[in-house]
Amino acid sequence: MQYLGFNWIETLGPEARKNLLDRARLRKLPDSTILYRQGDITHQFFQILDGSIRKYVLDDAGQEVLLYVYGKGDVVADSSALDRSPYPVTIATQGETLLRVWTVQDLIELRAVSPVYDIAIATQACHRLRGTLQIIQELVTLPVASRVASHLVILAEHQYLTENGQELELSQADLGLMIGTTRQTVSAIVNELKREGFIETRYGKIIVKNLAGLREYSSRARKAV
């Protein structure tokens, strides 16, 4: 089973999916609403219908270290809802965001009826872990130009292909935070990728136009060092 993004709900059978969606409540939240702070006990999980959610930690100086930006369709806080463990990071809305919301009790009751929910969430957790390990490998082994391109590839592979390409709800400043470099450095590399025709940029977005070319650029930049 192949996942696109972080949406295990679409992998459920019709009956299991209906039973889950029937329990959802809708919530529209303003920008920068904190859903969980690092260490909070999980009591709800979410699916993004519109908008996005930032996942980050704070360093010793209180500065945000961005880890990921979840987008439309992604399910968030589901793994922690499974075992009621403290939430490992902070998550907050980015822009006005519309969510489906379930309580932990909803999940407990559904799991008591069918094992498909446990299987879907566990499979999704493995998917997340593979992505995390790939990002760690990038940070410790790749030069910056290759790291930028490779990170865009990873993010694009989690997005549906539209007529414009794979659209990432991601600013250049956010990309710099995610890979541990300055916005100025990212801007120079992004401009080169634009000249090569691999990506386009709009306000708050990076659009991948040529995924294969981006992969080739990352490989080329890696060998150039």
**pLDDT tens track, the chain, 225 positions:** 334 468 999 999 999 999 999 999 999 999 999 999 999 999 999 999 999 999 999 888 887 888 888 988 999 999 888 888 889 899 999 999 999 999 999 999 999 999 999 999 988 888 778 777 777 777 677 889 998 998 899 888 877 777 888 888 888 988 888 888 888 999 999 999 999 999 999 888 899 999 999 999 998 888 765
Same domain, 130 and 26: yes
Residues 164 and 89 in one domain: no
99, part of any domain: yes
CA 6, 7, 13, 16 dihedral sign is positive
Only one residue has tokens 């709900």, namely 9
Q: Distance between CA atoms of 168 and 198, rounded to whole angstroms? A: 13
Is residue 108 located within the same domain as residue 219?
no
Domains in the chain, number: 2
Determine the residue type at 166: Q
Contact 131, 154 (CB under 8 A): yes
* 148 and 48 part of one domain: no
Alpha-carbon distance of 215 to 151, in angstroms, equals: 10
| pTM of the predicted model over 0.95 | no
Parent domain of 147: 142-223
pLDDT of residue 149: 92
CATH of the domain at 161: 1.10.10.10
pLDDT for residue 157: 80
Residue 15 lies in a domain: yes
Claim to verify: residue 149 and residue 122 sit in the same structural domain: no
Structural tokens at position 66:
């961005």
Tell me if 179 sits within 8 A of 144, measured CB to CB: yes
- Give a yes or no: residue 3 inside a domain: no
Is 1 inside any structural domain?
no
Closest alpha carbon to 154 in 137, 141, 172, 140: 137
78 and 114 in a single domain? The answer is yes
202 - beta bridge partners?
A: 205
Could you tell me how many helices (H) and strands (E) the chain has, helices first?
Answer: 8, 9
